[in-house]
Structure 1
Amino acid sequence: MLIKDMAARLQITPRAIRYYEEKGLIKPQKADESGYRHFTEEDVWKLQTVVTLREVGMQIEDIRLVMEKMEDQQGSLLHHLELQRSVLYSRWVEMSKLIQTTETMIERVKHDGVMDAAALYELAEGNKRLRQTRDNWVDRWNFDQIADHYDELVLGEREGFNPHENYEYVLDTVVAAANPQEGEQGLDAGIGTGNLASRFALRGIHMSGFDQSLQMLQRCRQKHPFIPTKLGTFFAIPFLENGFDFVVTSYAMNHLTDEQKLLALAEFNRVLKPGGRLVIADLMFIDQAERERHLRALRDAGEEEAIRIIEDKWYADRSRLIEGLQDLGFEVQAKRLTRYVHLLLANPR
């Protein structure tokens, strides 16, 4: 078909088609003498893909990579679409925060009658710091690399220091604390390979999950194909507001700094239904004083490997988490489960 036929079929302009051709996304054949572009059904399919990816905001360079890999790498398009969805949720959450900041600025100006430049600057800087806190997270632990043997790491016997001791007991305790009821919707934040979410699903509870590691998600989908999962982060949970009766998370927040943990708590609150509850089981110290005492005792005992493992992550300050949850309107019950794992049950006031 000719370019005008292609444009009519896909409801786009010939100019757009020429643009995508210039960018190398499609390569129609040209007649020997007329110079007219001749498009095949394969060109139609490729252009439909391009238009679809542009609709969800994917950049031209990223689309080119997708198109190059689609024929060679099974699942590449799905992977890139999942990445794009994660990016869109991040932008959406950031835009929501900007809107909230702007609304606060407007209300302050209305109330004061004048524009306090210093106060407005403070609000803007606060929003900037939040964005930087979200953007500064890096996967230093290579979860994509350890996904295939993650279960062995947490379930296997280990000599010496073991932050995952009594792992299955911890997960069972999370389920009991969440107290899931028939018909409820639950979310596993940082689902990993699905060891926690599957316990709920086997009780007939509808569970969803997200994780920042595609390989961990692929392993989870192999083990538990009945649990829907998404690629996403704790700072932009890839679900809309008020969708879940409860949120659970285990052994995941220790990969977030104290400031990032507070952002994650706000995201948990966003996706919970009114009256929803939250259960966290993770590596923690009661407060900074307990952390310092414990590290000092390990140092005196020559337990350098244990110190290295603890300092490789961000064991939570339980008191700060409780304070953050209380600021969000939760009542919190705390319990130590193992030497390092604490459980927090947060219910709305």
Structure 2
Amino acid sequence: MKLSDFRFNALFDDWADNYDETVYIKNGEYEEVFKNYTEILDETVRHISKSKAAKILDIGAGTGNLTLAASKAGYNVIGIEPNVKMRNIALKKAPLISFLPGTFLSLPIDDNSIDAIISSYAFHHLTDSEKEESIKLLKSKLKKNGTIIITDTMYDSTESREFIIKDTYNKNFLALAHDLETEFYSTCKFLNKLFEAEGFTVDFKQMNKFVWILTAKLI
């Protein structure tokens, strides 16, 4: 396991048992981050836009919420999640779905075998250079005309990032402010550049104050 993979795995060891409680929370510091959570997952699935039974990967599957939503929509979905605790929770929810160990940088999947790759609230754990490396790897797993859908906190500009962080401090949301300053959240412009460099066309849709859906389609 790469050092970056280890970091991605260990991050969720202490969060697994309370993850679902956090994402469905209706108040507190993270309310805005997870506002409309169920609708965001459903919209992510709608952006797949493939025929039923298409083969889908959900990377950073966590407790399986997005994986299960894609499965209910009729897709043949595999969850990729490095954390054992998270995978066990996901398997209890969806025992008929395969949840495999792996990360954005290490995938136990054959090349040119996947119709679409989806992910929610996870891509920001990669540094800028890791994001670039990951996009190349994800592309290699896709079939012709494949799609990557990344749902995560993003900024429409560096100015927006600065404003949101300042506003978070003003609200005394110190834990959230710390996350925003120390995690590797990117601007839409930066992500667009990375995907276009690998031959994707990219669209963005904002879902709440923090979260956007990036849809990248291979040309």
Q: How far apart, in 2, do the equivalents of 1:151 and 1:302 lie?
A: 24
2:172 paired residue number = 303
Amino acid at match of 1:195: N
Query: 2:200, 2:218 within 8 Å by CA — same for their partners in 1?
Result: yes
Q: How far apart, in 2, do the equivalents of 1:184 and 1:263 lie?
A: 25
Residue 342 of structure 1 and its aligned partner are, at CA, apart by: 0.7
Residue 324 of structure 1 and its aligned partner are, at CA, apart by: 0.6
SS at match of 1:347: strand
Task: Give the aligned CA root-mean-square deviation in angstroms.
Answer: 1.9
1:200 paired residue number = 70
Query: 2:165, 2:181 within 8 Å by CA — same for their partners in 1?
Result: no
Residue 203 of structure 1 and its aligned partner are, at CA, apart by: 2.5
Q: How far apart, in 2, do the equivalents of 1:297 and 1:217 lie?
A: 35
- Within the candidate set 169, 174, 187, 1:317 is matched to 187
Note the 1:92-241 alignment, pairs <5 A.
135-136=3-4, 138-139=7-8, 142-162=11-31, 163-241=33-111
SS at match of 2:103: coil
Q: Which runs of 4+ in 1 moved over 6 A?
A: none
Query: 2:29, 2:173 within 8 Å by CA — same for their partners in 1?
Result: no
Query: 1:180, 1:200 within 8 Å by CA — same for their partners in 2?
Result: no
Higher share in helix: 1
Residue 139 of structure 1 and its aligned partner are, at CA, apart by: 4.1
Q: How far apart, in 2, do the equivalents of 1:136 and 1:183 lie?
A: 32
- Within the candidate set 119, 123, 133, 1:253 is matched to 123
Residue 289 of structure 1 and its aligned partner are, at CA, apart by: 2.9
Amino acid at match of 1:152: E
Query: 1:174, 1:281 within 8 Å by CA — same for their partners in 2?
Result: yes
Q: How far apart, in 2, do the equivalents of 1:278 and 1:210 lie?
A: 14
1:302–1:160 Cα change, 3 Å: closer
Instruction: Kindly tell me the number of residue pairs found equivalent between the two proteins.
Output: 216
Q: How far apart, in 1, do the equivalents of 2:171 and 2:27 lie?
A: 19
1:63 paired residue number = none
1:12 paired residue number = none
Q: How far apart, in 1, do the equivalents of 2:212 and 2:13 lie?
A: 26
Deviations 1:244-266 (A, max 9, x none): 11110000112122221222212
Q: How far apart, in 2, do the equivalents of 1:184 and 1:229 lie?
A: 17
Q: How far apart, in 2, do the equivalents of 1:143 and 1:345 lie?
A: 26
Q: After superposing the two structures, state which structure 1 stretch, 328-337 or 285-294, moved more.
A: 285-294
SS at match of 2:129: helix
Query: 2:110, 2:141 within 8 Å by CA — same for their partners in 1?
Result: yes
1:330–1:242 Cα change, 3 Å: same
TM-score by length of 2: 0.90
Which ranges of structure 2 fall in alignment gaps of 5 or more residues? Answer: none
SS at match of 1:201: helix
Q: Alignment identity in percent?
A: 27
1:309–1:201 Cα change, 3 Å: same
| Residue 291 of structure 1 pairs with residue 169 of structure 2 | no
| Residue 274 of structure 1 pairs with residue 144 of structure 2 | yes
Query: 1:286, 1:318 within 8 Å by CA — same for their partners in 2?
Result: yes
SS at match of 1:143: coil
Q: How far apart, in 1, do the equivalents of 2:19 and 2:30 lie?
A: 17
Q: How far apart, in 1, do the equivalents of 2:26 and 2:173 lie?
A: 20
Query: 2:148, 2:217 within 8 Å by CA — same for their partners in 1?
Result: yes
Query: 1:287, 1:317 within 8 Å by CA — same for their partners in 2?
Result: yes
Which ranges of structure 1 fall in alignment gaps of 5 or more residues? Answer: 1-86, 88-133
Residue 296 of structure 1 and its aligned partner are, at CA, apart by: 3.5
Q: After superposing the two structures, state which structure 1 stretch, 175-184 or 271-280, moved more.
A: 175-184
Residue 317 of structure 1 and its aligned partner are, at CA, apart by: 2.1
